[in-house]
């Protein structure tokens, strides 16, 4: 049986006023794009959190 290899990312987003959001995903580009859509009611939209300040793949 073959072992499947998975890639995940832990990432940190920040706002200009230094509010932070920490998340985990398997598709970093898609997930950052979702945050930048600023959907009403979302935590990142409420605090204008859009800047990717750190990510790590594992």
The per-residue pLDDT for range 9-32, each reduced to its tens digit, is 999 999 999 999 999 999 999 999
Q: What pTM value is reported for the model?
A: 0.86
Return the number of other C-beta atoms located less than 10 Å from residue 27's C-beta. Answer: 12
Could you tell me which of 51, 4, 55 has the C-alpha nearest to residue 25?
55
Query: What pLDDT, on the 0 to 100 scale, is given for residue 16?
Result: 94
Helix, strand or coil for residue 1?
A: coil
Q: Locate the domains of the chain by residue range.
A: 13-57
């Amino acid at each position: 049986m073959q072992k499947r290899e998975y890639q995940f990312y832990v990432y940190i987003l920040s706002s200009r006023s230094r509010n932070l959001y920490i998340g985990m995903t398997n598709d970093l580009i898609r997930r950052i794009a979702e945050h930048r859509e600023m959907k009403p009611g979302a935590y990142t939209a409420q605090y204008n959190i859009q800047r990717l300040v750190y990510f790590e793949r594992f």
